[in-house]
């Protein structure tokens, strides 16, 4: 812990950079008084002489209340007026963080007595810019999804109708049970599924690492104003860690797959089965259902119908539209509408065109 000699400025005559070792100003000869602040130039060198080191380590100066002169800690009476030391005030000692060490008289005046690193709060402008970007993006989406209104004319119809023809058939099936209405024909043991069964354990090795304190290192953590013209470097220690790894063994379970068997049935059952799907599709305005001649044990099911209309705008651009059957039936070729069209040309609604 090195000791360095500080400086002080004489408040009486204005002499600057007086060495810390002097208790009296070499220019005006007046003693340094209570309230003087010491500072440490950046290039202050370490003191090595025995006399200086014992002065520095003796303790802080005390100030005579009779004549306001500074005296070394070892003096029991004032070296200027001879008054007893008694309970006279002592120069305050201070510890400075590295960045807070006063390097000039001015810094020594304004440096707080217990310097603490100031937390720096940064108000980001980025947040405001990001907000602006979000707003403009939202505006763009709004423009893109706004549907447009286009005058159109009905130019073509189309429709499609279909039914499914089903037949009641006897089927032969297999399963893990016989459903209601089924007649069992036979049964056998058959593979059903695999079960995972614990077979044995395998010893495996894995690496485990820990941060272990291996020692400590010292670093400069500031300087202490000893209150007598000298400053002492402050040394702090911090722990040093190293990653230490070792191998650990553990038991890994190993499973085997065991097949499980169950009774599988073969059975007969009657079911409705789709055998065809007659469909009519045409581009006119007179929809029909397919005419079907049903045989024995046959029926129709699941009728489906679709209706669409082609709408044409003034540039002959065609839009497909699929209204419900009632609206479709009432449309006429050449009829005019205002179509609400999405950005990807889907007709969302039809409104009767305004009279010209």
Check: CB of residue 6 under 8 Å from CB of residue 40: yes
Give the whole-angstrom CA distance, residue 338 versus residue 148.
Answer: 10
List the structure tokens of 154. 């009905």
Closest by alpha carbon to 53, among 102, 1, 89?
Answer: 1
- Please provide the DSSP assignment of 213-272 as one string: EEEEEEEEEEEEE-SSSEEEEEEEEEEEEEEEEEEEEEEEEEEEEEEEEEEEEEEEEEEE
Nearer to Zn ion, 22 or 319 (CB): 22
Q: How far is the CB of 215 from Zn ion (least distance, A)?
A: 50
Nearer to Zn ion, 13 or 254 (CB): 13
Give the whole-angstrom CA distance, residue 6 versus residue 101.
Answer: 11
Binding residues for Zn ion (CB under 5 A) = 10, 12-13, 15, 25, 27-28, 64, 66-67, 69, 78, 80-81, 83
Give the whole-angstrom CA distance, residue 146 versus residue 186.
Answer: 66
Q: How far is the CB of 22 from Zn ion (least distance, A)?
A: 10
Q: How far is the CB of 18 from Zn ion (least distance, A)?
A: 7
List the structure tokens of 273. 């089965």
Nearer to Zn ion, 13 or 129 (CB): 13
Q: How far is the CB of 81 from Zn ion (least distance, A)?
A: 3
Residue 195 CA: distances (Å) to CA of 8, 166, 191, 258 = 89, 41, 12, 5
Nearer to Zn ion, 91 or 94 (CB): 91
Q: How far is the CB of 119 from Zn ion (least distance, A)?
A: 41
Q: How far is the CB of 13 from Zn ion (least distance, A)?
A: 3
Nearer to Zn ion, 67 or 353 (CB): 67
Nearer to Zn ion, 13 or 171 (CB): 13
């Amino acid at each position: 812990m090195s000791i360095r000699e500080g400086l002080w400025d004489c408040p009486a005559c204005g002499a600057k950079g007086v060495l810390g070792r002097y208790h009296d100003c070499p220019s005006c000869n007046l003693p340094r008084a209570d309230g003087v602040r010491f500072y440490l130039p950046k290039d202050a060198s370490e003191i090595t002489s025995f006399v200086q080191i014992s002065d520095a380590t003796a303790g802080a100066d005390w100030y005579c209340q009779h004549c306001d002169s500074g005296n070394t800690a070892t003096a029991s009476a004032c070296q200027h007026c001879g008054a007893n030391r008694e309970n006279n005030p002592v120069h305050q000692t201070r510890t400075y963080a590295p960045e807070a060490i006063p390097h000039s008289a001015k810094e020594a005046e304004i440096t707080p007595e217990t310097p603490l690193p100031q937390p720096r709060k940064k108000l980001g402008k980025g947040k405001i810019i990001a907000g602006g970007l979000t707003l403009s993006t939202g505006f763009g989406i709004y423009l893109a999804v706004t549907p447009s209104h286009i005058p159109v004319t009905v130019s073509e119809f189309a429709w499609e109708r279909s039914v499914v023809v089903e037949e009641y058939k006897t089927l032969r099936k297999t399963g893990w049970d016989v459903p209601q209405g089924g007649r069992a024909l036979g049964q056998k043991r058959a593979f059903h599924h695999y079960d995972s069964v614990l077979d044995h354990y395998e010893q495996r090795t894995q690496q485990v690492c820990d941060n272990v304190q291996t020692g400590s290192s010292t670093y400069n953590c500031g300087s202490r104003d000893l209150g007598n013209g000298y400053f002492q470097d402050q040394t702090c220690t911090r722990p040093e860690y190293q990653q230490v790894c070792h191998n650990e063994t553990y038991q890994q379970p190993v499973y085997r797959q065991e097949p499980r068997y169950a009774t599988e049935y073969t059975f007969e059952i009657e079911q409705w089965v789709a055998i065809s799907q007659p469909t009519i599709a045409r581009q006119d305005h007179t929809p029909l259902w397919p005419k079907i001649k049903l045989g024995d044990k046959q029926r129709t099911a699941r009728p489906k119908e679709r209706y669409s209309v082609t709408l044409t705008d003034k540039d002959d651009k065609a839009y497909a539209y699929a209204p419900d059957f009632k609206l479709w039936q009432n449309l006429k070729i050449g009829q005019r509408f205002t179509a609400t069209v999405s950005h990807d040309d889907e007709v969302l609604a039809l409104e009767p065109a305004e009279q010209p």
